[in-house]
Amino acid sequence: MSKVCAGIETVSAEATRAAGKALAGVVREGDVIVLTGDLGAGKTVIAKGLADGLGIVAPVTSPTFNILLVHQGTKTLAHFDLYRLEKAVQLEDIDFWGTIESDTVSVIEWGDRFPEALPQDVLTVRLVITDDESRHIEVSASGPRSAQLAEEWLDALAGLEGVTTHGERWQR
């Protein structure tokens, strides 16, 4: 089991969105990305950047009221928001497992609410508000695929304006 911790700092919503967009260049079908952090931290901003990078033209809004929105781009993106879900059993109603195990890229806002529902190998992106315009983003991986994804994502962030990466890379 790999557990990586790397840190990213962004200075603006645009920079966070650009970081999300960079993720689109390295994701594969079947990848699961969990987005955590307080309301307003920037989870949807990351998801919007990812959608943009996948060539999705429809507006990507927070699926809070829908729980799941599926978008078709160069890859299929399943965008979940589990904020309003009360119990893990309700995940069955939205075919959570069927969706994440299909050929889609899954991005799950508030995925940490039901940790037992998550597959073993996921990339977790935790956003922390450091001030009005800046965010600390902690990246961790729980298996070999997410470790590879994290590493490739961090590499892809090099040179992006307003984005810096730091800290430990991988401990395999």
Residues 6+ apart with CB under 8 A from 80: 63, 67, 68, 94, 96, 106, 107, 108, 109, 111
Residue 37 in the binding site for ligand ADP (CB under 6 A) = yes
Residue of 61, 62, 66, 102 interacting with Mg ion (CB under 5 A):
62
Residue 43 binds Mg ion, judged by CB under 5 A: yes
Whichever of 45 and 147 has its CB closer to ligand ADP, that residue is: 45
Residue numbers 83-112 binding ligand ADP by CB under 6 A? 109
Minimum Å gap between C-beta 157 and ligand ADP is 14
Instruction: Tell me phi and psi for residue 112, to 5 degrees.
Output: -75, -10
Residue 45 as a binder of ligand ADP (CB under 6 A): the answer is yes
Size of the site for Mg ion (CB under 5 A): 4
Considering the complex, what minimum distance in angstroms separates the CB of residue 21 from ligand ADP? Answer: 13
Residues 6+ positions from 158 with CB-CB distance below 8 Å: 165
Provide, rounded to whole angstroms, the least separation between the CB of residue 155 and ligand ADP. Answer: 21
The distance of closest approach from Cβ of residue 80 to ligand ADP in the complex, given in angstroms and rounded to an integer, is 12
The residue written with tokens 């508030």 in the block is 110
Pair of tokens at residue 165: 């990466």
Q: Cβ 138 to ligand ADP, closest distance in Å?
A: 14
Is-contact 117 88, C-beta < 8 A? Answer: yes
Strand ranges of the sheet holding 104-109, from the earlier edge strand across to the other edge = 68-72, 76-81, 104-109, 32-36, 123-131, 134-141, 6-10, 163-166
Using CB under 6 A, list all residues that contact ligand ADP: 10, 12-13, 15-16, 37, 39-45, 62, 109, 133-135
